[in-house]
């Protein structure tokens, strides 16, 4: 297996790369910003549905014992509203990577956060539907959410790669092992 240029893209640079890959345009960024007040208004409802879903399933509810639910509600509301910040810079990428790492550290399988998009998506779609240009707004929301999912997942992959690389003595070998070659 040959080396790939994507292997050199790390940390916050992954967001810059993905913004380019997804063709996130200045118009789409402006539309996201327009929606911020509506998103802030929708955030408490989104968060309520989010935790109802997680508490209704034993394997996910287990993670929410002994944590401050007030704090978590606030942080997930902020997470949702920040999707609409219109500022997808290095600081944004760092914040989103850190959120991913927090979930790595609690031993949460990545399938759970990924599955929760089913809750997040309709709330974003409802916000977009209220915009003067709902088609563009929905497209922008889908892109920014896709970026976020990619970054969240990247935190998991970075962690696995880091530990495997330490174990086998290098990232190239770790990547080859993960590829099964
Ligand atoms: C779309 C998916 C998710 C998002 C956007 C999200 C968002 C967040 C955010 C923003 C934080 C605060 C991070 C920080 O301290 O800086 C957090 C913490 C946490 N999340 Fe999630 N979360 C998601 C999925 C889940 C799932 C599926 C579970 C468990 C079943 C979960 C359990 C937790 C727990 C236990 C903490 C607190 C960790 C700690 O402080 O020790 N999250 N989440």
Ligand 1, atom nearest to 54 Cα: 30
Residue 171 is part of a domain; what is its CATH number?
Answer: 1.10.490.10
User: What does the CA dihedral 164, 170, 175, 176 come to, rounded to 10 degrees?
Assistant: -110
Which range of residues forms the domain containing residue 13? 5-179
Tens of pLDDT, residue by residue over 119-139, are 999 999 999 999 999 999 999
DSSP string computed for 28-58: HHHHHHHTHHHHHHHHHHHHHHHHHHHHTSH
pLDDT in tens, 93-116: 999 999 999 999 999 999 999 999
Number of domains in the chain: 1
Q: Is 64 in the pocket of ligand 1 (CB under 6 A)?
A: yes
49-96, pLDDT tens digit by residue? 999 999 999 999 999 999 999 999 999 999 999 999 999 998 999 999
Other Cβ atoms closer than 10 A to 138: 17
∠ CA(156), CA(161), CA(165), 5° rounding?
155
Which ligand 1 atom is at minimum distance from the Cα of 71? 12
Atom of ligand 1 nearest to the CA of 79: 10
SS (H, E, C) 70-83: HHHHHHHHHHHHHC
Residue nearest to atom 7 of ligand 1 (CA): 76
Per-chain mean pLDDT for the chain: 95
Cα–Cα distance measured from residue 69 to residue 64, given in angstroms and rounded to the nearest whole number: 8
């Amino acid at each position: 297996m040959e080396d790939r240029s994507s292997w050199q893209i790390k940390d916050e640079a992954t967001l810059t790369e993905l913004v380019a890959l997804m063709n996130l345009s200045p118009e789409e960024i402006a539309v996201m910003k327009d929606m911020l007040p509506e998103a802030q208004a929708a955030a408490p409802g989104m968060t309520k549905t989010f935790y109802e879903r997680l508490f209704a399933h034993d394997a996910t509810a287990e993670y929410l014992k002994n944590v401050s639910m007030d704090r978590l509600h606030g942080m997930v509301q902020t997470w949702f509203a920040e999707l609409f910040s219109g500022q997808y810079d290095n600081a944004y990428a760092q914040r989103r990577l850190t959120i991913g790492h927090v979930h790595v550290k609690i031993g949460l399988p990545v399938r759970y956060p990924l599955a929760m998009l089913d809750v997040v998506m309709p709330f974003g779609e409802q916000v977009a539907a209220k915009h003067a240009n709902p088609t563009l707004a929905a497209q922008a929301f889908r892109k920014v959410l896709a970026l976020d999912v990619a970054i969240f997942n990247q935190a998991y992959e970075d962690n696995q790669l880091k530990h495997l690389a330490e174990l086998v003595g290098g990232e190239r070998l770790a990547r080859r092992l993960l590829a099964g070659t």
